Amino acid sequence: MSHTPIPIDSVDVLLLDLPTIRPHQLSVTTMRRQKLVLVRVRAADGVTGWGEATTIGGLAYGEESPESMRVNIDAYMAPLLLGADATSPGARMRDLRTHLQGNRFSLCAIETALYDAQARRLGVPLSSLFGGRVRDSLPVAWTLASGDTERDIAEAERMLEQKRHRIFKLKIGARDVLADVAHVAAIKRALGDHASVRVDVNQAWSETDAMLGMGMLEQAGVDLVEQPIAAGNDEGMRRLRRMNRIPLMADEALHGPTDAFRLAECRASDVFAIKITQSGGLRGAQQVAAIAEAANVGLYGGTMLEGAVGTIASAQLFSTFTELAWGTELFGPLLLTEDILRTPLDYRDFSLHLPSGPGLGIDIDEEKVAFLQRRSGRGA
């Protein structure tokens, strides 16, 4: 069967600056807005694909910012894509990686858009290009990060009542260890056994802080501790894991398959938080999952607090994982005041339910996107 190439006609980067529903406090920044980075790829057959490369707090979380991504994609990536065959995402990504270093978020957005378009062309959900689904819905955690204990408890109780979330991740590390542990313990006491309570320290603790904090968090009934110490301290993670019973998850330490292999080899964590942006795309994230499975490391489907596009792209991939013992945190769109979909994502019964349509399976309201882009102004 001969293969007819379909040239890529355009690659656009769209920045949408949206308010969050409440301040979202992490040890590295407090978010009041989120700047979505969307990539749209159009091909000569009229098929359009979408991808997303949103970061947390501009440059607060990684080396790419929304603005740097727009410049780098326009100046260096789009020229390598324009006119090339849209039906071979693998070849396109190899070409980009041959000529570029780093830029894993940008590469993720481009790869997602290419796979979205190709899956639409074939009339299948994106998950079918990654082995097919083993589940149609994914458990979704919610992050309590208002910075206020009573407000967090009220928020969690509302989520339980609405059957939206029963896994709660608490952002800590901005205060001293004892104050943070007291905050977490009060929330766990209030929620009891109805909920799983976990913490994310976002690298804020020293190893001695972590040794103290992890012991107390275990006593308080916390189920999981995420990235308590600096991302580069593999040995420290290994020591913490050896000396504590509470499961330990790597997040910022994990930038794709090479890190996954190293962390698995030195037994630095019990669980990997897999993020498609941090993995440089869907295929990178799939490889991280394969390494975890081979090394008996548990899996958690992470988020970069993306909007609908990155969230559903992650969900499409995570739905293909054989094992996903720790669930996901794919709640990004619920933290935003604006939706860009004609039909919102389906959150119910503590889960995100996957759409069955082709590609990402979502219907983007392009007029709304254009409006939000204009409203975001020149800086966005």
| Closest distance of CB 373 from Mg ion, Å | 29
Q: Which does 305 bind (CB under 5 to 8 A by kind): Mg ion, ligand MUC, none?
A: ligand MUC
| Closest distance of CB 241 from Mg ion, Å | 17
Rg (CA), the chain: 20
Reduced to 3 states (helix: H, G, I; strand: E, B; else coil), residue 346 is strand
Residues constituting the chain: 380
What number of other Cβ atoms are within 10 A of residue 370's Cβ?
Answer: 12
What number of other Cβ atoms are within 10 A of residue 2's Cβ?
Answer: 3
Active-site position among 171, 188, 275, 368: 171
Q: Which residue is nearest to ligand MUC (CB)?
A: 143
Does the annotation count 163 as an active-site position?
no
What are the distances in angstroms from CA 237 to CA 222, 270, 326, 364?
A: 18, 10, 19, 41
| Closest distance of CB 129 from ligand MUC, Å | 26
Contact stretch for Mg ion (CB under 5 A) within 117-125, 187-195, 198-206, 323-331: 198-206
Residue 71 or 325: which CB sits closer to ligand MUC?
A: 325
Q: Is there binding between residue 251 and Mg ion (CB under 5 A)?
A: yes
Question: How far, in Å, CA of 102 to CA of 76, rounded?
Answer: 12
Nearest to 256 by CA among 224, 229, 290, 228: 290
Q: Which of residues 221-240 bind Mg ion (CB under 5 A)?
A: 226
Residue 125 or 302: which CB sits closer to ligand MUC?
A: 302
| Closest distance of CB 202 from Mg ion, Å | 6
**Contact (CB, 8 A) for 299 and 314:** no
Residue 175 or 368: which CB sits closer to ligand MUC?
A: 175
Q: Is there binding between residue 200 and Mg ion (CB under 5 A)?
A: yes
Residues that bind ligand MUC (CB under 6 A): 56, 143, 145, 200, 202, 251, 302-303, 305, 329
| Closest distance of CB 273 from Mg ion, Å | 6
> For residue 341, what is the DSSP state?
B
- Chain centroid to Cα 150, Å, comes to 27
Question: How far, in Å, CA of 76 to CA of 73, rounded?
Answer: 6
Residue 180 or 200: which CB sits closer to Mg ion?
A: 200
Per-residue tokens: 28? 């590295």
Enzyme catalytic residues:
171
Binding site for Mg ion (CB under 5 A): 200, 226, 251
